Amino acid sequence: MLILLVVVMLVVLVFLASEYEETRDQAALEQDAETVANDIRSNLLHNVQTLQSLHSVAPSVDAWSAPAAEFLAQRREIVRLEWRDNARRLIAHRDSLYIPDLMSYFDRSQALPEMKIACDNALRQSGPAYSSSYFWPLSSGRGIEMIEMCLPVASEGKPAGFLVATYSLPGMLAELVNKEMLRGRGLGFSDADGTRLAMLSTLSGSRRNVTARAVLDLPGYTLMLQLQSLRQVRGLFPNVLTAMVGALSLALLSVLYLLGRDIRRRQRAELEVGRALAFRKAMEDSLVTGLRARDMDGRITYVNPAFCEMVGLSVEQLVGTGLPAPWWPPELVDEYQHRQQVRLAGKTMPREGHESVFTRPDGTRFPVLIIEAPLIDAQGQQTGFMGAIIDLTEQRRVEELNRASRERLQATARLTTVGEMASLLSHELNQPLAAIASYASGTLNLLEQPTPSDPLHAELAQAMRRIAEQAERAGRVIKSVADFVRRRERVREAVTPQSLVDAIQPLLSLLLNKHGIRLQIHIEPGCPPVLCDRTMVEQVLLNLARNGVQAMPQGDPPAHSGMRLLRIEVGQLRLHSGETSGGRARKIWVSFAITDHGQGLSPEVAEKLFTPFFTTRPEGMGLGLSLCRSVIEQHGGALTHEPACPRGTVFRFTLPGADPSTIIRS
C-alpha cells in the first residue's frame, strides 16, 4: 500500500507539473501573439505616415514616380502603389520589382471593387482604410492573398485624390514581424470565420503544438493572427529527482550484492555449457543426417560434416554464404528463392518437411527431405532456423522399384481376372438366357391361344414379350463382349438414333422411377441414321445413363429445384471442315449427349475418369467408362465430358452417319 501511495503521489505531481507548464506556455505564446500584432500595426502606421510625406514631397506626377519606386524597394510587403484622382481614375502607378508578373495574368480592373470600397471608407473616415482580402492569381500558376489600403491625400488644403497601396498578406507576415520571435514557430493570417488566408511558416500537426490567436483590427477590415509553437519539454521537480537518486542509490547496493552472486553462478554455468557443447559436437559429427543452421537473413551459421559431404563443399565454403545457395539447381533458383522467402517470413508451420533437389559441384543431383524449425535462443527469441537434411537417393530408388513391380503385378492380375470373368460369364449365362427365352416363347404360345378378352391376359402377354426381348438382348450383349475381347470381326449396320434410345428406354425408365428422376429425350428432326454395332452402342448409352442416375442420389438435388432430370439429346454435328477433294460430300457425324445434374466431377476425378480400374464407387470395377470409350473409338468417334450448367456433367460421344440401307463389315 505504501508503494502504491508513493506511485500515486508521483503521478499526481507529474500531472500537476505538466498542467502548470502547459498553462504557462499558452500564456507566453498569447503574449507573443499580441506583440506580433502590435508590431504589424506599428509598421502599417509607419507606412501610412511615409506615404503622406511622399505625396507632400512629390505633388506632381513626374516627381512622384521616382520616390514611389524607392518606397516600394524598401517595403517588400507592398506589391503595387497607385495615385488616383478623386474619381478613382489612375494617375500614376508603380509595381514592386519583387513580383514582376503581378498583372500579367489578370488585369487590375479585377480588383477595382475592393479598392473602391476601401477608398469610400477612407473618405468617410478621413484617414487610411483597408479592404477585405482577396486572392490574386499569378501567371506561374501560383497566387497570393492581398488587401488594398486607400489613403486620401490633399494639396494646398484641397483633395488631391487617393494613394492606394496593395499589400501582400504573406509579405506582411515576412516583413512586418520580428524574425527572432518567429524562430521555430508557425505564423499565419486567417479570416474571422477561421479560413486560412496566408501562412509564413507551419508546424507539423501534433498534439505537442500550442496555438494562440490575436486580433489585428485594421480600419475597415479585421484579420486574425495565428501563432503556433512546440510545447516545451521540461524535467520533473527537483525534489522528485532527489528522491529518485536516493532510491537508485539503495538499488545500486542491492545490485552489487546480486552481481557478485551472479558471477559465481555464471562461472559454474559456463563450465557446464562447455561440457554440453563438447558432447553435442561429438554427436553432430557422428550423424549421417545433414544439419544446417541459418540466421534470419538466410546466411549459414553452422553445418555439420554430414551436410558438407552431402553437397560436396567444405565448412569454409558454406559458412557465411547466403541466398541463392550454391547447391541449388540453376533452373530452380527462382522457385527456391521464393520458397525460402516464405520460410524466412514465418509463413510455414514449424517442423514441416518438404522435398527438394540438391546439386553437387560435379553436376550430380539428388533428392533430399528438409525438415526445418525455428532456432530459439535462451531468451525465447528466434535467431534463425535449424534444418535437418536427409538424402533420399537410395529410398527413392527402392520405392520406384517397388512401385513399378506392384503396378505390373496388379495390372496383370486384374486383366487376367477380367478375361476369366468375361469368358466364364459368357459361357455360364448363355444357358440360363436360352432357358429364359424358351420359357418366354412357350408362355407366349399358350397366351396366344383363343381366350376370352381379358385386360390382364393382354398385359401378361406384353410382359412376356418384354422378357423375351431382354433375354435376346442379353445374349447379344454377351456375344458382343466376347467378340470385343477376342477382337473378332463385327457387323455394323445403319441404325436410327430413335431405335437406339427406344431399345434402352424400358430398362432406363424402371431405374429412373426408382430414384424419382424424370427422363427427357430430344432427337433432332431429320437426324440421319448412324453406322454402328447396335448392341454395343446400346450398352454405351445405357451405361452412361446409369452413371448419370447414380450421380444424382436421393435428395440431391432437391426435387423442388426442378433439376432431378436426365436429358438425352441427339443431333447432327455441323462441321465446317473435312470436305474432301473433288467436290465430294463431307462426312456426317451424329452427336449423343447425356446430361445429369449431380455434383459434377472434381479436377482430380476428371483426370483419371477413363483410366481402367479407377472408380469412385465402392461397388464399382472401374471398367465401364474405359470400355465405353474403347467402343466409341473403334467406331471412329470420340467420348468426351464437360461441366453442365448450373451443375452436373455432360457426357458426349459421336458416331459416323450413314445411309439407312448401308451395312459395312470391318
Secondary structure of 8-39 as H, E, C letters: HHHHHHHHHHHHHHHHHHHHHHHHHHHHHHHH
- Identify the CATH number of the domain in which residue 37 sits: 3.30.450.20
The pTM for the full model equals 0.37
Lowest mean pLDDT among 54-58, 239-243, 401-405: 239-243
Lowest mean pLDDT among 158-172, 430-444, 477-491, 529-543: 477-491
Q: Is residue 631 part of a domain?
A: yes
Q: Where are the beta strands (DSSP E) in 244-381?
A: 290-295, 300-303, 352-359, 365-376
Better-predicted residue by pLDDT, 589 or 17: 589
Question: In terms of residue numbers, what domain contains 577?
Answer: 490-665
Of 332, 358, 391, which closes a domain?
A: 391
- Identify the CATH number of the domain in which residue 451 sits: 1.10.287.130
Q: Are 515 and 661 within one domain?
A: yes
Better-predicted residue by pLDDT, 147 or 403: 147
Mutual angle of helices 534-550 and 624-634, in 10-degree steps = 140
Better-predicted residue by pLDDT, 383 or 73: 73
pLDDT tens-digit profile of 115-126?
Answer: 898 898 988 888
- Identify the CATH number of the domain in which residue 651 sits: 3.30.565.10
Q: Are 331 and 416 within one domain?
A: no
Whether 317 has a pLDDT exceeding 50, the answer reads: yes
Instruction: Give the CA count within 13 Å in the CB-facing half-sphere of 42.
Output: 9
Beta bridge pairs of residue 129: 150
Q: Is residue 277 part of a domain?
A: no
Q: Are 195 and 291 within one domain?
A: no
Q: Are 483 and 549 within one domain?
A: no
Residue 405: phi and psi, rounded to 5, are -65, -45
What SS3 class is residue 488? coil
Q: Is residue 241 part of a domain?
A: no
Q: Is residue 281 part of a domain?
A: no
Q: Which amino acid is at 582?
A: G
Q: Is residue 261 part of a domain?
A: no
Q: Are 429 and 362 within one domain?
A: no
Percentage above 70 pLDDT, the chain: 75
Q: Are 338 and 461 within one domain?
A: no
| Average pLDDT of the residues in 304-321 | 81
CA distance 165 to 147: 9
Q: Are 50 and 152 within one domain?
A: yes
Q: Are 410 and 333 within one domain?
A: no
Give one DSSP letter per residue of 591-621, joined into a string. EEEEEE-SS---HHHHHTTTSTT--SSTT--
Percentage above 90 pLDDT, the chain: 9
DSSP letter (8 states) at residue 131 = P
Whether 350 has a pLDDT exceeding 60, the answer reads: no
| Average pLDDT of the residues in 304-323 | 81
Length of the chain measured in residues: 666
pLDDT tens-digit profile of 449-460?
Answer: 665 556 666 667
- Going by C-alpha positions, the residue among 292, 319, 316 that lies closest to residue 306 is 292
Spatial contact of 202 and 188, defined as CB atoms under 8 Å apart? yes
Whether 583 has a pLDDT exceeding 50, the answer reads: no
Better-predicted residue by pLDDT, 641 or 553: 641
Query: Which position has the grid cell 500537476?
Result: 16
Number of domains, the chain: 4
Q: Is residue 528 part of a domain?
A: yes
Q: Is residue 259 part of a domain?
A: no
The three cell numbers of residue 335 are 522457385
Q: Are 480 and 496 within one domain?
A: no
The predicted structure's pLDDT at residue 653: 93
Q: 592 falls in which pLDDT band (50, 70, 90)?
A: very high
Of 471, 488, 505, which closes a domain?
A: 488
Please state whether beta strands 639-643 and 352-359 pair in parallel, antiparallel, or not at all (unpaired).
Answer: unpaired
The predicted structure's pLDDT at residue 434: 62
| Average pLDDT of the residues in 246-260 | 72
Lowest mean pLDDT among 264-278, 340-354, 466-480, 539-553: 340-354
Lowest mean pLDDT among 209-218, 219-228, 487-496, 544-553: 487-496
Q: Are 477 and 494 within one domain?
A: no
Q: 582 falls in which pLDDT band (50, 70, 90)?
A: very low
Whether 580 has a pLDDT exceeding 50, the answer reads: no
CA distances for 622 relative to 45, 506, 609, angstroms: 106, 25, 9
Whether 18 has a pLDDT exceeding 80, the answer reads: no
CA distance 435 to 13: 113
Whether 248 has a pLDDT exceeding 70, the answer reads: no
Of 344, 370, 391, which closes a domain?
A: 391
The predicted structure's pLDDT at residue 481: 62
Q: Is residue 242 part of a domain?
A: no
Better-predicted residue by pLDDT, 286 or 493: 493
The predicted structure's pLDDT at residue 591: 93
Query: Which position has the grid cell 514611389?
Result: 68
Q: Are 345 and 426 within one domain?
A: no
Better-predicted residue by pLDDT, 161 or 666: 161
| Average pLDDT of the residues in 274-301 | 79
Q: Are 156 and 7 within one domain?
A: yes
